[in-house]
Amino acid sequence: MSNFEQAERLRGVRYDVRGPNLVEAQKMEALGERILKLNIGNLAPFGFRAPESMLRALASNLVDAEGYSDSRGIFSARTAVMNYYQAKGQNVDVDQVWLGNGVSELISMTLQCLLNIGDEVLIPAPDYPLWTGAVTLCGGKAVHYLCDEANEWNPDLADLESKITPQTRAIVVINPNNPTGAVYSQQTVQTIVDLARKHDLILLSDEIYEKIVYQGTHTPTAKLAGNDVLTFTYSGLSKAYRACGWRAGWVVVTGPLHKAESLLEGFTLLANMRMCPNVPAQHTIQTALGGYQSIDDLVAPGGRMHDQLRLAADLLNDIPGVSCVPAKAALYLFPRLDLDMYHIEDDEAWALDLLRKQHLLIGHGTGFNWPHPDHFRLVALPETEVLKEGISRLADYLATIR
């Protein structure tokens, strides 16, 4: 009998945030071993809770959440998203808002209705690997433009422009950035917008960390793109509102909508096919976006997120052969390893050895489509003493291979 093989379109699709090393960690846990997981930005296991007002909104609307909603999402939630962007000075109507089961679903839907076989999408390196995986799964080609560690991880704009070809359909902007914690300057965002305008490209702007900013100011891509550059802006409740498991995200489409009627018809078709987003979670969006924003306390000096990211960067920079650009935003650090000191050729194997010897799970840099085996991503979410313990384990391990 023949084997049952996976579809060819899955060849080359990777998502190493939950990849082979996590599988190994789960096997170790099944044997009773305790693993410190600093590989994924899942806030609840580290004690970050959704605001009580959102929990009440979820509970009080459960009786009305048993049936399907409109495939685009409930009107009150979409209106709240509209108002949120209007308050930022953007020209948005409720019909330009779609809700989804997290931003991940909306990214996949966008690429499914946008890409033909061989179409190219420019994606930053390093990236959030869902972008590369989803482009590949849709038959497109992910083309990575480099971000410059020496320039606080802002995109290398000359490299970006050099990679635009007649097959390029869109530019992905991840700002604030996962995994580097960069906050792009307004000039950087403006230059990317100008390139999209010059080459008639679509902008896909992942802004899920827009409220988790410690230093600098987040510049919304769509605000600079205006009415003449088609822009998809993605955000949601997972990070700033500590509700990862609720799967409540949105995409807002702005720019020359008259030029995108066919594309948006396809997007609506996909929205209809998935029936609707998670209805209970939709009822919390209006509450989340209005009123007191508890995230502001967490990201201000003295706040837990702010202080833990600063502490983690300092501890990492104290390790010989490790250098780390402090994060200006998000939940992660992307440190560099000195390959003259640590002779690493396969960073996935390096991270696996770290896991087995120190029971510490981190993300290897090539898993984020960085081209060299000299970086890794560390999630800085645990309480201070646990964070110190994790970085101490890393330092002890590196001492053995130095």
Assign domain 52-289 one CATH number from 3.90.850.10, 3.40.640.10, 3.40.50.10470, 3.20.20.70: 3.40.640.10
pLDDT score at 247: 94
pLDDT score at 325: 96
pLDDT score at 5: 81
Task: Domain ranges for the chain, please list them.
Answer: 8-48+297-401, 52-289
Burial class (CB in 10 A: 0-12, 13-18, 19+), 246: buried
196 neighbors 229 (Cβ within 8 angstroms): yes
- N- to C-terminal Cα separation, the chain: 50
pTM above 0.85, yes or no: yes
What is the CATH architecture assignment of 8-48+297-401?
Alpha-Beta Complex (3.90)
Written as one letter, the residue type at 17 is: V
Buried b (16+ CB within 10 A) or exposed e, 315-338: bbeebeebebbbbbbbbbbbbbbe
- Give per-residue pLDDT as tens, 115-158: 999 999 999 999 999 999 999 999 999 999 999 999 999 999 99
Could you say which residues of the chain have pLDDT below 70?
none
- Give per-residue pLDDT as tens, 277-304: 999 999 999 999 998 999 999 999 999 9
